[in-house]
Chains A and B, each alone.
Chain A
């Protein structure tokens, strides 16, 4: 299948990043992006056959494929998940954006009455708005926005998020509650900001 970057390369980059080398992340990002994107597409094509899209399974698969399991330190795994959550967010947002373009088609295309009546709440639009709201949240409160990213885009559970961010699980729960309530407010327009 796809040309897989050498495992040791990724493993090393992860270690360097964990040790605080930010440029390692720049090198890591495209490698992981390619792999996740490829896997996501494969999962998405399975989705057509009635399976659900399992983000965690997907990231796990990427992890197993990309990282040398023999020489890996456990802490690398959470870092891998952290970057993967970020990348999944980008992949999904790209898809949603493309979907929006495709849907808009000829710009001011006329929609027939029947068509207009069957328009359902559009998930892609909602996802794009969520992404925007999450960016605003990150400006005020980077940690809470990261919790959302890890949980909602990365599919991590609270325990894993706590491990990635070095906070307690209780804090993860509280951060999530707050962030989600605020995002809901932003998206439903019930917020007064």
Chain B
């Protein structure tokens, strides 16, 4: 239809629909004259107008009309089916799913080659600027052409989803390879050397992997060549914090964008500086390689707690059990792993090349040593073995290793005993570490795994939370919730309650207190900022002791005594100028206040 014709029709139409049926027919006829087809078109349009009304066609807005389809099937748009076309790829099979999205075996129809296609979940790819940085890094890493770095073919978008196409490796991940079996020394060293070779090349190009773990190390079936996956990918899931490395966007706000599963899977391999969201560099990868090596050698993950937060505490504080206490392993191997696992980056190997060098020397020595050349699994140490081990240690002493190793152990053991026995108390200072566990709920049932965070995110209405606190010092702890309502606040007592810490306000040193212990805190329907006042005192606080009596599930701990609310407010106001120093890590926040009393409001925004 030409615009002219259209205008003619619309001119007649707009007047015609204002008329009643009889007048309308006459009007249309008079306007169209002998142009029969014009009359037909106008009449059809008028008819459609009536039907559209009757059908409620386009009543409301598009978003409402399509809402049903935005619900179920759109919940995981990144799930593709076998045989489905996706951009210029055809999905052949699902290879599994990771925290960042789904991985498929796919055929590139343009080049007729098989690729691994990782489709990033929309949550991950949403942040365009971060995606851009990730692309750059991954491209650079791939372009290094190092045989142990997985080649990236393409980044792209199709159907509104971001994907990465990489070479497909027929093999298994180190995680799968380790499953239920122990590797021989030769294989452990061989795998480690290849991982380090990949890291060395990447580090030379100033690229830090940030997420070295057994899931990101592939072993090719046919020749056991190791491929390190996902260079740069960790960049898009990293959390931001004020102390994190500076980037181009200083206005970036702390955000928890990692899906719960990811942080759970990755945390064990995180370096101390990573766990605290401090500035990281190449040496974080050295640490993670050390963790992998420890795991391959002993079959145990060196830092592993019952929750993410416990694991983080271990990473920061615990010195792992020496390898030689668990298995028969060369002392030099032990030295290398422990050096990689030094808490301070300055105490580690400074480059992957250095570590590679030491490991290669060991490999040569092992190959020379007929006894060690056998790639039998490392034997778990038993009492009987101990004296034999002593003899072996002597052998290594001849190699000049014993003194070094012993010295390192001595230092480590001394350090670890110091950490566990003597709390680092500074006079007249209060220290309290807190973190928050979040559990999503759906239809009153837990939904997905809980995740932890150091502080403030926007909480949705169906998030329930738990507050975890821990201090190297004993003290009297009170936690009060102040809702977003204006006026004189009515506080809710959150701690002490009968469930957490058996109702006592005095909490012991170096013990993690879960509040509540077994259930969750939930927000009421009023939106806004909820303040969670943490009060931690060396002495008992007479003003706050009475709050216990209001701890009740029925009332949500609401303090109904106006006089008590007033005295709480006065106490909080009185100390409002003494703000504690806040060290915000990735998953923990540590508060330090001078004096005997620490008061801090955690602000939780919820919708």
A residues adjacent to B (C-beta < 8 A) = 1-4, 6, 30, 34, 37-38, 40-42, 44, 47-49, 52-53, 55-56, 58, 88-89, 92, 94-99, 101-107, 109, 122-124, 126-127, 130, 140-141, 144, 148, 151-155, 174, 177-178, 180-185, 188, 190-193
Contact = CB atoms under 8 A, between A and B. Distances in A.
Contact of B74 (A34, A53, A99, A140): A99
B541 to A, nearest CB: 35
B83 A47 contact: no
Nearest to A108: B83
Most buried by A among B49, B74, B77, B255: B74
Interface residues of B, number: 63
Contacts of A53: 63-64, 67, 70
Interface string B56-73: 011001111111111111
Given A2-B126, A38-B126, A105 B83 contact: yes
Interface stretch (B37-45, B191-199, B503-511, B560-568): B37-45
A173 B41 CA distance: 21
Contacts of B161: 98
Contact of B69 (A40, A42, A49, A123): A123
Contact of A152 (B41, B44, B52, B58): B58
Contact of A3 (B7, B127, B457): B127
Contacts of A88: 62-63
Contacts of B49: 177, 180-181, 184
Contact of B52 (A44, A56, A154, A181): A181
B143 interface: no
A58 B69 CA distance: 18
Given A97-B159, A127-B62, A192 B14 contact: no
Contacts, number: 177
Given A52-B64, A101-B159, A190-B44, A4 B253 contact: yes
Nearest to A186: B48
- Which 8 residue pairs spanning A and B have beta carbons closest together? A106-B83, A181-B49, A184-B52, A105-B81, A94-B160, A185-B48, A181-B48, A53-B63
A133 B509 CA distance: 70
B372 interface: no
Nearest to B13: A178
A97 B62 contact: no
A119 to B, nearest CB: 13
Given A2-B255, A152-B58, A181-B45, A140 B6 contact: yes
A6 B251 CA distance: 8
Given A52-B64, A123-B66, A190-B44, A177 B17 contact: yes
A188 B85 CA distance: 29
B376 to A, nearest CB: 48
Given A106-B82, A184-B52, A184-B55, A48 B71 contact: yes
11 contacts: A30-B128, A47-B70, A55-B62, A55-B64, A88-B62, A92-B66, A96-B66, A127-B66, A152-B61, A152-B62, A178-B45
B49 to A, nearest CB: 4
A191 B458 CA distance: 50
